[in-house]
Chain A
Amino acid sequence: MDSTMLITIWLMTGALIGGVVTPVLAANKAVNGWLAMLGGTLVGMVGNVVLLVPVWLGLSRAPALDDRRPAWQRDAITLEGVRQGAAPTGVTAGEQMQTLAVMLRENFWPAARADREHSHRGTYVGVFVALAVITAIEVAISFWEGAPFNLAIPLSILSAAKVMLVVLFFMHLRYDSRWYSWIFAFSLPFAIIVLAVLAVAD
């Protein structure tokens, strides 16, 4: 499987997702379903082209993999290529995937700290996954018809959990000076008073 094939499959996937999801989103809307599907297909395909830009940027800047072929073979192919005006080929799909993995790692995985300070990379990934999972649970709960209790209660608890995750880990309050936490918490009584007064007032 060469790169052209991979790119074609990538674009088809985008078009397919766009074509299926858009009519679903546009259901109950004053939009023609077929038109929505056509538009979704186009947007999905173009979106996937846009998503390819970082990959292309990375590939064009990534260092080339070592050529492990013997010198005589490499020279022969290069000479042949020069003679015929074509670039040397012979990179397998596995090597391409490897290049892709190396590219992703080099461009999107932060290096370890130079000083022996603890790096938070793993924590951040974990918090991100937790946020995504909680969001999915929230949306699923909101579809629950005939629940034995008011759905506002679990939804409030879950979104409070999300807020705490972001504030403690992404905003570093857990690692920073306690003073910043106090300054931030100082505003909460005012916020609660405003909420209470507005909710009770008629």
Chain B
Amino acid sequence: MSIDMELVADDMHEHMHDVEPHEAEPDEIHMPPPSIAPIILGFGAALFLLGIIFPPLLVVGLVVTVGGIWKMAHFPEVDLHPNWLTFLNDRKLGMWVFLASEVMFFSALVGAFIAFKIQEGFEEAHEVLNLPLATVGTTVLIVSSFAVVMGLEAIQSDDRRVFRNWMLVTLVLGLTFVSIQAIEWYELFDHGIDETTLFGTAFYVTTGFHGLHVLGGVGWLALLLLKARRGEYSAQNNLGVELFGLYWHFVDVVWIVLFTVIYLIH
């Protein structure tokens, strides 16, 4: 027990290395000042989405979003009083509750798609769907999931260079996946499958929401990379990376289901 206490004390000493002596009182807690960055980010994302109706807003929204990400990257990663009921981490618990709500959200979309498919068959749509391209996209997402776990493994052993490289790989793969989706949408639209057909509605809503999740993940990843550049993450502080990983893997899981339902099952 006494050895453990010593280790803890050592750990605390390390963390307080760059703090002024009078601030290092153990019973004083210094919360960082409140930040407006998440609000800017949310406002930018909302503007970006409104760009679907009024295209010039796409540019404005993107600029505001990137600004919010930039400001958020300069906010320290804090994990004060992290545990609820002493054994569950608050941020991780929140992430899992969010993911559980996402399961319900996507099951409604997938359920609607399956219901329409049972009613209509969607046989003619299978002629125009590009299975090879979608297989490439699936592979890209799976590789990106692998890249995230390798990155997390690296930062957990304080291997920052390997961590950064895998995260960059993930960023490139995420953007590749979105591009592949864009090509697929363009091709389908070219074949006269638009929002007036039942298959078009079901397909665009389902894959569109998934694609938006991937885009959101790419934004989060950009934020993560900016923070990593500032040396925010280490073997002691990597929960932010783990939470991003949970989200990214979940998006991968959704695509695994969508790929089977939309492309493989006739």
Contacts and interface: CB of A to CB of B under 8 A. Distances in A.
A198 B145 contact: no
Q: Interface size bucket, A side? A: 35 or more
B97 A183 contact: yes
Interface in B135-171: 135, 138-139, 142-143, 145-146, 148-150, 153-154, 156-159, 161-163, 165-166, 168-169
Interface string B190-234: 100000000000000000000000000000000000000000000
Contact of A110 (B143, B159, B264): B159
A186 B146 CA distance: 26
Contacts of B256: 159, 162-163, 166
A104 to B, nearest CB: 10
Interface in B221-266: 235, 242, 245-246, 249-250, 252-253, 256-257, 259-260, 263-266
Contacts of B150: 108, 110, 121, 124
Interface residues of B, number: 66
A25 B139 contact: no
Interface string A173-202: 000010110011011101110110111011
B93 A183 contact: yes
Given A135-B139, A163-B253, A163-B256, A111 B154 contact: yes
B53 interface: no
Interface of B is mostly: helix
A156 interface: yes
A151 interface: yes
A113 B156 contact: yes
Contacts, number: 164
Given A114-B158, A171-B246, A194-B107, A142 B165 contact: no
A25 B157 contact: no
B138 A121 contact: no
B107 A106 contact: no
B88 interface: yes
B63 interface: no
What are the 9 tightest A-B residue pairs by CB atom distance, in nearest-first order?
A191-B107, A110-B154, A198-B111, A187-B100, A159-B260, A111-B159, A128-B146, A187-B103, A195-B111
Given A166-B145, A187-B101, 11 more contacts: A29-B187, A106-B162, A108-B165, A113-B156, A170-B148, A170-B249, A171-B250, A183-B96, A184-B96, A187-B103, A194-B111
Interface of B: 87-88, 92-93, 96-97, 99-101, 103-104, 107-108, 110-112, 114-115, 118-119, 127, 130-133, 135, 138-139, 142-143, 145-146, 148-150, 153-154, 156-159, 161-163, 165-166, 168-169, 187, 190, 235, 242, 245-246, 249-250, 252-253, 256-257, 259-260, 263-266
